[in-house]
Amino acid sequence: MNNNNTNSIGITTKDICADVINKSLDNKNDTDYVGEDGHCYCGVCKKAKTMTSPFGDGEEVGIPCDCIKSENAAKEEARKRNKHRIMVERLRREGLSDAAYGNNTFENDETPNCQASQIARYYVDEWVNQKERGQGIIFYGNCGTGKTFYATCIANALLEQGIRVYVTNIPRLMSYTPDQMRNVDSMLNACDLVVIDDLGVENPNAYNFSRVNDVVDRRYTSGLPIIVTTNLDISELELTTPTNDRERKLNRIYDRILEMCPMRVAAVGESRRREKAIRARAEEAAKFREWQKKQNI
């Protein structure tokens, strides 16, 4: 079509083109052109940007070309991502009783080949089935061997997927007033996963027993999983023949935990904190030697 053609009432095809393009969803581009059918076409993807209205009034209406479709899809994707991010931030605020737990992620895992790490990642991959069966994990072992790290890696990976997780520890649970405890109770009842850090450090008084017992009972009744970290050994948790009242009470609590947590992972090996300190010390020693050289000492 020649853009300089003029019809009987003096309107050039250029005018028509301008008009058609004006109607193309405010998506004008210098390379857009008018096709032989009189519709506006995208200069980039060559798809129509206008069509005749399907309502029979002959009006030219805008339609999205492929460029606009993909631009819209990208915008929608960004909107969804943003919405998800806001939700995850809220879940993290509500679910991590200590913000420091948020730093424990598989990306920061320095020993991804150890068994505890692999089981933690397996648990995340198998989450739907684990939740269905109400199954959790006990991470046990000495201080600083990564129990809390892996338990909270699981928590953070699931929070990232928008799953409700509550992470707390026994000393913190003990510090709550009955009023504060009411909020915690609703988290314990409703969260898809609860992580209890540091079981076994509680002072064995009647009040503490009943609180730990209550926490475990809530999860047991809801049929939802719990992940526990403890310095206790499995043999201490199994306590098969309690000999006094204290042991009987503990036995009941531990029995339920063992029932809910078929996976028991020994976090063994050197203390991660100690290893880190040794590495830092070696690095500093090397830096110090460099410094001495520079000083000609």
**Which residues in this chain contact Zn ion in the complex, by CB under 5 A?**
42, 44-45, 65, 67
Smallest gap from residue 69 Cβ to Zn ion (A): 8
Rank residues 16 and 40 by Cβ distance to Zn ion and give the closer one.
40
Rank residues 44 and 285 by Cβ distance to Zn ion and give the closer one.
44
Smallest gap from residue 40 Cβ to Zn ion (A): 11
Q: From residue 178, how far is each of 35, 94, 98, 207, 213 by CA, in Å?
A: 75, 18, 19, 11, 15
Rank residues 36 and 57 by Cβ distance to Zn ion and give the closer one.
36
Rank residues 34 and 65 by Cβ distance to Zn ion and give the closer one.
65
Rank residues 65 and 261 by Cβ distance to Zn ion and give the closer one.
65
How many Cβ atoms from other residues are within 10 Å of residue 204's Cβ? 11
Residue with tokens 């008018």: 34
Quote the tokens at residue 150: 């892996």
Quote the tokens at residue 238: 């199994």
Distance of CA 16 to the CA centre of its chain: 54
Q: Is 271 helix (H, G, I), strand (E, B) or coil?
A: coil
Residue with tokens 């928590």: 155
Phi and psi at residue 104, to the nearest 5°: -85, 100
Smallest gap from residue 19 Cβ to Zn ion (A): 19
Contacts of 116 (CB under 8 A, 6+ apart): 139, 146, 147, 150, 265, 266, 267
Rank residues 47 and 272 by Cβ distance to Zn ion and give the closer one.
47
Smallest gap from residue 39 Cβ to Zn ion (A): 13
Cα distance between residue 141 and residue 147, in whole Å: 7
CA dihedral angle for residue 239, residue 243, residue 245, residue 251, rounded to 10 degrees: 10
Quote the tokens at residue 24: 């193309």
Smallest gap from residue 79 Cβ to Zn ion (A): 21
Smallest gap from residue 26 Cβ to Zn ion (A): 13
Smallest gap from residue 23 Cβ to Zn ion (A): 15
Rank residues 42 and 96 by Cβ distance to Zn ion and give the closer one.
42
Distance of CA 261 to the CA centre of its chain: 22
